[in-house]
Amino acid sequence: MARSNITSTTNDINEDGGSVLFSLIKGEQLEFPISLPFITDVYQEPYEFEAVVVEALNTGLGEVPTTVKSGGVQTTLERRVLSHSGTWNATNSYSRDDYVSHGGLSYRRLRGSLVVTAVEPQDDSDWDLFEPNTIYVRVPSSLISTWTIQPSVDTPVYGFFELRVSEPAAEEFPRTWKPVRGLIKLHFSPTDTVAD
Tens of pLDDT, residue by residue over 25-48, are: 999 999 999 999 888 888 777 899
**2 confidence band (pLDDT: 50, 70, 90):** low
Show the domain range for 98: 83-129
Whether 68 and 112 map to the same domain: the answer is no
The answer to whether residues 118 and 137 touch, using CB atoms and an 8 Å cutoff, is no
- Whole-model pTM: value is 0.86
Distances (CA, A) of 33 to 47, 53, 64, 85, 138: 16, 16, 24, 19, 9
Whether 111 and 176 map to the same domain: the answer is no
Residue 144 is predicted with a pLDDT of 96
Whether 25 and 98 map to the same domain: the answer is no
Whether 145 and 189 map to the same domain: the answer is yes
Whether 87 and 107 map to the same domain: the answer is yes
Q: Within a domain: residue 2? A: no
- The DSSP element (H or E) to which 193 belongs, if any, is helix 190-193
- The CA distance from 115 to 36, in Å, is 29
The structural domain count of the chain equals: 2
For position 140, which CATH number holds?
2.60.40
Whether 172 and 182 map to the same domain: the answer is yes
- Nearest one of 98, 80, 72 to 33, comparing CA atoms: 80
Q: Above 90 in pLDDT, residue 6? A: no
pLDDT tens, residue by residue, 43-91: 777 899 999 999 999 999 989 999 999 999 999 999 998 888 999 999 9
Backbone angles phi, psi at 195, to 5 degrees: -65, 140
Whether 183 and 89 map to the same domain: the answer is no
- Nearest one of 28, 45, 25 to 157, comparing CA atoms: 25
